[in-house]
Amino acid sequence: MKLCDELSDFSDEFMQFLQQLGVECVKISGSRLMPPKGCGVPPKDELRRLQDRLARFDLTLDVFLLPQGRETQYWNTRFGRPEREREIEDVCNTIRVCGECGIPVIEWTWSIIDVWGRIRGPWGRGGATISRFDFERIKDEQPEPGFGVGPDEMWERLDWFVQRIVPAAEAAGVRLALHSQDPPQKPYLKGEARILADFEGMKRVLELRPSPAHGLNICQGTVAEQAGSDVIGMIRYFGERDKIHHVHFRNVRGSCPKYDEVFIDDGDTDMYAAMKVYHETGYRYALMPDHWPRIAGDTQQPSLASRAYALGYIKALMQAVGAKPRGPQLKALRPS
């Protein structure tokens, strides 16, 4: 597996920061290369230039996130609108361009309301600023007109998309990594059926179009947030079937209907046990932290001190389970 982080800053200084911490590869949000509004297809020459810059810092571009927000690349597809016929061409061409640039994994999401309903506050260890989801606070929120959708219709729209992007990924030689729904509040969140918010939904989406190219982004935080989930068991189940193509390695305390996104070492999941299962099942792609708390004195954007803490913790766990070498060993001192 490869230590990864999000390239949220395209400056040389940030790339050097990642290099100094031992990061090997990065993920980018594709919308940053696809103006306006994250639509269309990313220019291949711009991707190549970015890869050349990353190479100067010993970094590779291993994960490309398809635009996920409102009015972006496949927005109308999520509603089943006629515009999806045009949008799917852009998505498939994006997959092709990524393949031609040698980007191995494409992450994607499936939701209309996207990540919604969280608030930030000083609820972390020592008063660190973290994100909290509390369904009681927003349970009466109504969907925007046309945004409400039931499970059958949502599965139909999702199936239409999967049947087209999986063959495109196979042809391009890339792997797809679907991020389960965040927050995983069931059965509905703001009028939207949360069909990808539990183990059964994650299994079912892979069965829509079985293929080595069709897999998951195991966002450990989101999986842990699923009420009653067996995080370690799910990692083993999907890992043994080679269906994990990307990992967000983070921790939470609690689960739906209320949870906190805490420090990587301060949540309910045994992170050493999780890392051990990734290694035992042969996981070989990018693994990265996510949703970093903001700590005292961390005035930098994007939360450099908190990210460094998480990256160091992850690298130590990789070494502890034997997934990464510990580096050259110092010779023992002997008395003269």
Using one digit for the tens of pLDDT, what is the confidence trace for 194-223? 999 999 999 999 999 999 999 999 999 999
Q: Within 10 Å of residue 265's Cβ, how many Cβ atoms?
A: 13
Q: Give the span between the Cα atoms of 129 and 26, in whole angstroms.
A: 25
Residue type, position 171, single letter? A
Residue 330 has a pLDDT of 41
Which phi and psi (to 5°) does residue 188 adopt?
-130, 150
Residue 36 has a pLDDT of 82
C-alpha distances in Å from residue 131, one per residue of 124, 139, 252 = 9, 17, 10
180: pLDDT strictly greater than 50: yes
Please give the mean pLDDT across all residues of the chain.
95
DSSP letters for 193-247 = E-TTSSHHHHHHHHHTS--TTEEEEEEHHHHHHSTT--HHHHHHHHHHTT-EEEE
**Left if phi > 0, otherwise alpha if psi is -120 to 50, otherwise beta: which for 107?**
beta
C-alpha distances in Å from residue 68, one per residue of 109, 238, 290, 315 = 6, 24, 16, 29
Please choose, from the candidates 198, 192, 291, 282, the residue with its C-alpha nearest in 3D space to the C-alpha of residue 248: 291
Residue 35 has a pLDDT of 82
Q: Give the span between the Cα atoms of 21 and 131, in whole angstroms.
A: 25
71: pLDDT strictly greater than 70: yes
Report CA 311 to chain centroid distance, whole Å.
Answer: 15
336: pLDDT strictly greater than 60: no
Range 272-276 average pLDDT: 98
For residues 73-100, one letter each, b for 16 or more C-beta atoms within 10 angstroms of the residue's C-beta and e for the rest, the string is: bbbbbbebeeebeebbebbbbbbbbbbe
238: pLDDT strictly greater than 60: yes
Residue 331 has a pLDDT of 41
The vertex-204 CA angle with 90 and 166, nearest 5°, equals 25
100: pLDDT strictly greater than 90: yes
- Give Dmax over CA atoms of the chain in angstroms: 81
Residue 288 has a pLDDT of 98
Residue 299 has a pLDDT of 80
What 8-state DSSP symbol labels residue 102? T
Q: Give the span between the Cα atoms of 257 and 255, in whole angstroms.
A: 6
Q: Give the span between the Cα atoms of 299 and 112, in whole angstroms.
A: 32
Among the ranges given (55-64, 76-85, 248-257, 290-299), the one the predictor scored with the smallest mean pLDDT? 290-299
Split at pLDDT 50, 70, 90, the class of 332 is very low
C-alpha distances in Å from residue 314, one per residue of 179, 249, 251, 296, 317 = 20, 8, 12, 21, 5
Split at pLDDT 50, 70, 90, the class of 329 is very low
Residue 328 has a pLDDT of 53
What domains are defined for the chain?
A: 2-321 (3.20.20.150)
Residue 327 has a pLDDT of 61
Using one digit for the tens of pLDDT, what is the confidence trace for 303-328? 899 999 999 999 999 999 999 887 65
> Which pTM does this prediction carry?
0.94
Strand partners, 262: 251
Please say whether the beta carbons of 179 and 107 come within 8 A.
yes
What proportion of the chain, given as a percentage, has pLDDT over 70?
97
Residue 188 has a pLDDT of 96
Residue 326 has a pLDDT of 72
Using one digit for the tens of pLDDT, what is the confidence trace for 25-55? 999 999 999 988 899 999 999 999 999 999 9
Range 246-271 average pLDDT: 98
The vertex-78 CA angle with 30 and 67, nearest 5°, equals 5
